[in-house]
Structure 1
């Protein structure tokens, strides 16, 4: 009886030792006496106890490798590029991925260094920033072709960071600051120019309206004088007497207007009624002389035309 229990126990232990679990998105590689036999999928699996063993487990998940590469651009600027490569093992090529490469990360890193140091020295620094997607595409293309034989698929390659030398970065920051100051100065100049133009337009409009107002004022004054002369003529006062009366009236109205300002320092000389009469006589004399000169010039032009 005891021997039977012992045998049953040993058999149970052997069976249990042959059971193993494979996690999701993982493939187990089974060897028999050191030789590859098969791969087992996720779930509960069974191997032959003492004969077969799990040589290793291969993850089918997408993995990421970050590599920093230092190189020199075409314009002799040292720059560090951070490359992120996403890759995964192909399910149908688990054997190649497990047995052909001992350290796939080193292999991928070597290819990244080779591609970056072949592409970046062809570009100036500004082009490296502008064409980082082209660099990433070149890395992905080269890696995909090289790593496919080893069972690896390159999902994506990204240039995640570009870090020039510190002195170059300081120079770039100064250039950017100068450009921004230049743009700000241009905007300020445009704004100042607009203000000057608008101010000139406003002043021109003000002068135009002021001139129009003065013209309207003089037109109304003339109309009022004309009406005043007509009224005075109707009561038997001739034009010269009417003009004298209007001048005297305007003279006293002006004196009254000046007297209304308490702190006024203006002195009107002469301020007698005779001054208004003298001014009228001078105006009449000027008008008469002007008419005589005009008539003389007209006669001279007529004689000249008749001779021709």
Structure 2
């Protein structure tokens, strides 16, 4: 009967079945197995309705199945079979991320079947996807180990950067210290050379003046000797220095100093004449 006023002849015409065109829902709970033999538990909600209000559609809904229970059994088993077929081609690690793909695959396969029964699939929602307790524990361990691995890698990278920067800083410090030491050594060498030049120049000048005054130049050497001994005594800082204080030793030392002085004087005179 269509909406509005309808007339039925009593005893001849009877109501065989009442078909509601409102939306219907069904809760589904079932289990599927992945390609790597992991059991997956599904909890889903199925929303469907009669395709339209045409007479042929209503007759199809009313007479396709013996009763509503048989229809629900066929509907649920069809949905379960579609999901199990899809999950059987996937690995355990992929199932949780394929919720949308599972729903789209089931809708694509189920729409044509439901239309042949006079129904239309409105929505399919995967409310929960879980694994067995042992698998859940192993998955949690995998996630924890991956987090530890990522943390270790980050820590290693940070330590590598720290050590690299420290090595670069140490290398730069060594380089700066070496440059400073090289410059200091060069300055010290230049200072020693200038000191020696001034000493030689002073000794040459003193010797020349003493010769002009008919004095013995060994007096200069003797004065240098006494100044050296005095310097040793004042600045020795506890060090022990053995000096030959005998007359022979003093004369031998004086001769050596005179020979050095004369050699420096001749070299200086030769340079001056040049």
Instruction: Tell me what 2:41 maps to.
Output: 80
CA distance in 1 between counterparts of 2:169 and 2:204 reads 48
Q: Is the 8 A contact 2:19 2:62 kept in 1?
A: no
CA contact (8 A) 2:48 2:120 kept: yes
Corresponding residue for 2:88?
Answer: 121
CA deviation string 1:22-65 (max 9, x = no partner): xxxxxxxx3xxxxxxxx22xxxx55569979998573445x543
Q: Distance in 1 between matches of 2:76 and 2:235?
A: 104
Contact 1:73 1:123 in 2 (8 A): yes
Using CA pairs under 8 Å that are at least 6 residues apart, name the structure with larger relative contact order, 1 or 2: 2
Q: Higher strand fraction: Structure 1 or Structure 2? A: 1
Q: Deviations over 1:279-308 (max 9, x none)?
A: xx9xxx9xxxxxxxxxxxxxxxxxxxxxxx
Assess if the C-alpha contact under 8 Å between 1:116 and 1:135 holds in 2.
yes
TM-score by length of 1: 0.56
| Aligned match for 2:27, one of 66, 72, 81 | 66
Encode CA deviations 1:166-189: one digit per residue, 9 max, x unaligned: 111111111221222122222222
Alpha-carbon spacing, 1:227–1:145, altered in 2? closer, same or farther (3 Å): same
CA distance in 2, matches of 1:53, 1:237: 149
Question: What number of residue pairs does the alignment pair up?
Answer: 217
- Structure 2: how far apart are the matches of 1:273 and 1:91? 129
Q: What SS does the aligned partner of 1:163 have? A: strand
Gaps of 5+ in 2: 206-219, 245-252, 261-274
Match of 1:166 in 2: 133
Alignment of 1:124-139 (within 5 A): 124-139=91-106
Tell me if structure 1 keeps the 8 A contact 2:19–2:58.
no
CA distance in 2, matches of 1:187, 1:136: 38
- State the match for 2:217 in structure 1: none
| Counterpart among 176, 189, 192 of residue 159 in structure 2 | 192
Partner of 2:130, secondary structure, is strand
Equivalent of 2:62 in 80, 85, 99: 99
> Shift in Å at residue 255 of structure 1?
4.4
**Which residue pairs with 2:173 in the alignment?**
206
TM-score, normalising length: structure 2: 0.62
Give the root-mean-square deviation of aligned CA atoms: 4.1
Aligned with 1:81: secondary structure? strand
Counterpart CA distance in 1 for 2:27 and 2:44 is: 6
